[in-house]
Amino acid sequence: MTWAIARRVVIALVTLLLATIVVFGAVHALPGGPATALSADSTSPTAAAATMHAYGFDQPLPVQYAKWIGQVLSGQLGTSPLTDLPVSAQLAQRLPITLELAVLSLLFAIVIGVPAGVATAARPGRLTDWVASAVALGGLSLPHFWFGILAILIFAVHLHVLPSGGFVPLANGLGGNLEHMVMPAIVLGTGLAAVIMRQTRAAMIEALGADYVRTARAKGMREWQVIWVHALRNSLITVVTVVGLQLGGLIAGVVTVEVVFNIPGIGQLTLDSVYQRDYPTLQGAVLLTAAAYIIVNLLTDVCYTLINPRLRVTVTRGAT
Amino acid sequence: MTAGVAGPGVPAPVSARNAARIVRAAKVRPRFSALAIAGTVGSLIVVLIAIFGPLAAPYDPNATNFATVLAPPGAPHHLLGTDQLGRDVLSRMLYGARSTLAAGILSTVLGTLVGLPYGMIAGYFRGPADMLLMRVADVLLAFPFLLLAVGLATISSPPLWTAVLALGVAQVPVIARIARGATLEVRDLEYVQAALVNGERDLTILRRQILPNVLRPVTVQTTVAIPTSIVGAAILAFLGLGVQPPTADWGGMLAQAQQYLNQSVWLGVFPGAAIFITALCFNLFGDGITDALNPRGRR
């Protein structure tokens, strides 16, 4: 099992390395890439050349890449030519905000999605199942930016119960922080809750038809034990995979929700750096996002192995 | 589906209670099928609106009229009202269907056209080719479509193609993974080996022996991906990375409406509702296809 996990880690590292090449290549291949963007602001050709030289843009690409990787490994992501702030400092400032949003919405999605999936799977075909499935499909189709706008209209503009956007750091009090985060987290988590509910339901229905469930029932086990202990444990494998795969979608959602609710997170930073052609920041933000995604995928794989003993064996045999 | 039927333990004669359960379980499918039909019809209507809607549009979607700015729905000559520039909302909605739907559907087609052969080749040849292809797919998967779009927005034009390209490329690794899995499942079966012994060329085997088995799961994924792509296209336009104003697009209309919500709520309601209903119809349609083609994944 250790070998299986080690193999996963190596693959993740290779993917991460490829990702750095893609990020670097993409940003530098852009016509109007960093060089043009910088020199456009300069008044004279000599000044432009000096700026280019100061940021190292006049060197060959492989050299620039090697330098950049060296910096990345030591935690330095360069300096934003616009704000003259280190990119890593900007990312460090905004990452906790985005993480809080992501974790809260994930929590919301799990708390709603898993019990709803289990409850509907336990009694398929009932009215509750039908209603919950329909609601889930609705949640799946609801574009979060629209949902966010509607939520602001209802809860902030008309009812005045929640702020319409912005962010209060945790340091300034938990109440104010959560007040600002609750609406974005629910808006972002709704689609995910729908996905989790549907997947839990499908996996549970399959598990409840399995022989071991029949055996458990035949042994006289309580129905709640059969459902919540036996069947759910096996269904969780599917759910964990789906949650892992969905996190990529969550990242896209984070950007839109941050824009709608005006939350100064990584998503806003990425978009702003596109609009302002701030390439070092863009590079850093995109790399951070990609790295986060790769790490989440790795953790998903490891969770798999830990939840399902059977997978440990198959994976060790070297199966892909 | 068997869950409702599987009684507790010992095979007993079907009791009244069990019979009721069986009937209930059997009823699940028709009810969902009715929804699937509704979704299919709805999707068709939306597609027809996208194709022929502009013909029915009462006004030029970009014609401004400052005499009737922010007219409410039901105003004379403007069924859905007008926006901040006095443009007819109904006309813009009808034209907007085209760009939103086109981006959603074309990108899925693009993703399938690339991802299907990609995954089949990886699964069929295995070895280093597979390893390389799938690692590249992993890297692509590590970039949410939004980041791809962000990168592409600066290089490609026109913007509609940026959206199509970004959303399409994002689907390639997903479809490739599914195609690869399905290929791996059948490539060692006897009939494929027999074709190999027969001296069939790889390309022929891929087309005639493997493809029919891969098409089913890929079709399921494709139908499921369409609503996601439609919403994705709307997100891109909303963020200003896809279709650009003044071209009518549901996502773009929503972005502009944000500033006028205090005065005219409906400006934010119509485009959002249109995206929502379209995605819902395509989701129902996709569920129906999944049920029909994938007996194991029945919901």
* pLDDT tens digits for range B161-175: 778 888 898 889 989
Q: Do A149 and B254 touch (CB under 8 A)?
A: yes
Residue A201, classified by CB atoms within 10 Å of its CB into exposed (0-12), middle (13-18) or buried (19+), is: buried
A220: alpha, beta or left? (left if phi > 0; alpha if psi -120 to 50): left
- Name the β-bridge partners of A86: A79
Which range, of A15-19, A47-51, A55-59, B153-157, averages the lowest pLDDT?
Answer: B153-157
Q: Residue B1's pLDDT band (boundaries 50, 70, 90)?
A: very low
State the pLDDT at residue B161.
78
pLDDT at B15 over 80: no
User: Which residue type occupies A287?
Assistant: L
State the pLDDT at residue B280.
92
| B15 part of a folded domain | no
| B43 part of a folded domain | no
Query: What count of other Cβ atoms lies within 10 Å of the Cβ of residue A276?
Result: 15
Q: Do A137 and B144 touch (CB under 8 A)?
A: no
pLDDT at B29 over 60: no
Domain of residue B133: give its range. Answer: 102-293
Best of B139, B229, B281 to substitute, by most chain A Cβ atoms within 10 angstroms, is B139
Say whether residue A294 is in contact with chain B using an 8 A CB cutoff: yes
* pLDDT tens digits for range B256-271: 888 887 778 888 888 9
Listed by number, the residues of chain B in 100-159 with a beta carbon closer than 8 Å to a beta carbon of chain A are 130, 134-136, 138-139, 141-147, 150-151, 153-155
A262 or A58: whose pLDDT is higher? A262
Determine contact, residues A68/A78, Cβ cutoff 8 Å.
yes
Residues in A closer than 8 angstroms to B231, CB to CB, are 141, 143
Q: Do A289 and B144 touch (CB under 8 A)?
A: yes
From CA B139, how far away is CA B137, in angstroms rounded? Answer: 5
Q: Residue B274's pLDDT band (boundaries 50, 70, 90)?
A: very high
Q: Residue B279's pLDDT band (boundaries 50, 70, 90)?
A: very high
Q: Residue A43's pLDDT band (boundaries 50, 70, 90)?
A: low
From CA A34, how far away is CA B167, in angstroms rounded? Answer: 25
| Mean pLDDT score across all residues of chain A | 80
Say whether residue B181 is in contact with chain A using an 8 A CB cutoff: no
Say whether residue A27 is in contact with chain B using an 8 A CB cutoff: yes
Mean pLDDT in residue range A117-145: 83
Q: Do B154 and A271 touch (CB under 8 A)?
A: no
pLDDT at A41 over 60: no
Q: Do A259 and B258 touch (CB under 8 A)?
A: no
Q: Which residues have a Cβ under 8 Å from the Cβ of A207 and sit 6 or more positions away?
A: A213, A230, A231, A232, A234, A235
CATH number assigned to the domain comprising residue B179:
1.10.3720.10
| B38 part of a folded domain | no
Q: Do A249 and B2 touch (CB under 8 A)?
A: no
| B144 part of a folded domain | yes
Q: How many domains does chain B contain in total?
A: 1
From CA A216, how far away is CA A226, in angstroms rounded? Answer: 7
Torsion angles phi and psi, residue B98, rounded to 5: -60, -55
Determine contact, residues A274/A282, Cβ cutoff 8 Å.
yes
Q: Do B150 and A30 touch (CB under 8 A)?
A: no
Query: What count of other Cβ atoms lies within 10 Å of the Cβ of residue A17?
Result: 13
From CA A263, how far away is CA B59, in angstroms rounded? Answer: 38
CB pairs under 8 A between A and B: 170
* pLDDT tens digits for range B63-122: 777 777 777 787 777 778 888 787 888 888 898 888 889 888 999 999 999 999 999 999
| B122 part of a folded domain | yes
| B161 part of a folded domain | yes
Q: Do A138 and B280 touch (CB under 8 A)?
A: yes
Q: Which residues have a Cβ under 8 Å from the Cβ of B200 and sit 6 or more positions away?
A: B208, B209
Q: Do B276 and A141 touch (CB under 8 A)?
A: yes
* pLDDT tens digits for range A60-96: 778 888 888 888 888 777 788 777 888 888 888 898 8
Say whether residue B42 is in contact with chain A using an 8 A CB cutoff: no
* pLDDT tens digits for range A280-317: 888 888 888 888 888 887 887 787 777 666 655 444 44
| B124 part of a folded domain | yes
State the pLDDT at residue A280.
82
Say whether residue B67 is in contact with chain A using an 8 A CB cutoff: no
Residues in A closer than 8 angstroms to B265, CB to CB, are 153
State the pLDDT at residue A36.
59
DSSP calls for B103-154: HHHHHHHHHHHHHHHHHHHHHHH-HHHHHHHHHHHHHHHTS-HHHHHHHHHH
Residue B146 has its nearest CB partner, among A15, A30, A255, at A255
- Name the β-bridge partners of B88: B82
| B95 part of a folded domain | no
Determine contact, residues B139/A15, Cβ cutoff 8 Å.
yes
pLDDT at A129 over 90: no
A5 or B193: whose pLDDT is higher? B193
* pLDDT tens digits for range A167-218: 888 777 788 888 888 899 999 999 889 888 888 888 888 888 888 888 888 8
What tokens appear for B133 in the block?
Answer: 């292809």
Residue B150 has its nearest CB partner, among A274, A290, A297, at A274
**How many angstroms away from the CA of B105 is the closest CA of chain A?**
16
| Nearest alpha carbon to residue A305 among A12, A10, A7, A106 | A7
Mean pLDDT in residue range B32-46: 85
pLDDT at A318 over 50: no
**How many angstroms away from the CA of B10 is the closest CA of chain A?**
7
